[in-house]
Amino acid sequence: MKKYIILILAAVAALFSCRNKALPPRPTIPLVETIVRDTSGLANLVTMAGASGAEGSIAILGEPAEAVSLARLFQAIDAVDNIDGREKRDSLPDFAGEQFDVILDAANAPFGHYLPDGLDSLREAAVQGAMFAWDSTCLKYAMGRDKLLKSRAKILILSSPLHSAYGLFDVDTLKQLCSGKCHVVTPVETTLQDAAVLGAANIAVWASRDVRASGAFESAFAQMGLEGSVTAITPDTALDVRTEFRSLLRQYRATGIPLDALVLMDYSIDKKPLESELELIRRAGTEEDQAFSRMLSQGFTFIEPGKSLTESIYRYMRGGNLFTHRIALPSVRWYETTVSEQGDPSIVEVGFSYVLQTYVQDFD
- Residues 179, 219, single domain; the answer is no
Q: Which residues contact 131 (CB under 8 A, 6 or more apart)?
A: 35, 42, 45, 46
Query: At 181, phi and psi to the nearest 5?
Result: -105, -10
- Residues 43, 55, single domain; the answer is yes
- Residues 174, 64, single domain; the answer is yes
Question: What is the extent of the structural domain holding 212?
Answer: 190-305
- Residues 114, 16, single domain; the answer is yes
- Residues 257, 332, single domain; the answer is no
Q: Within a domain: residue 364?
A: no
> 209: domain CATH number?
3.40.50
Q: Within a domain: residue 217?
A: yes
DSSP 8-state symbol, 114: G
- In angstroms, what CA-CA distances link 116 with 123, 126, 233? 12, 16, 18
Count: domains in the chain: 2
- Residues 208, 243, single domain; the answer is yes
Q: Within a domain: residue 254?
A: yes
In this prediction the pTM is 0.91
- Residues 49, 59, single domain; the answer is yes
Q: What is the pLDDT along the chain (364 residues), one digit of tens a residue?
A: 433 334 344 444 444 446 555 555 568 999 999 999 999 899 999 999 999 999 999 999 999 999 999 999 999 999 998 888 888 898 999 999 999 999 999 999 999 999 999 999 999 999 999 999 999 999 888 777 789 999 999 999 999 999 999 999 999 999 999 999 999 999 999 999 999 999 999 999 999 999 999 999 999 999 999 999 999 999 999 999 999 999 999 999 999 999 999 999 999 999 999 999 999 999 988 999 999 999 999 999 999 999 999 999 999 999 999 999 998 999 999 999 998 878 889 999 999 999 999 998 654 4
- Cα–Cα–Cα angle for 361, 363, 364, rounded to 5 degrees: 140
- Residues 275, 176, single domain; the answer is no
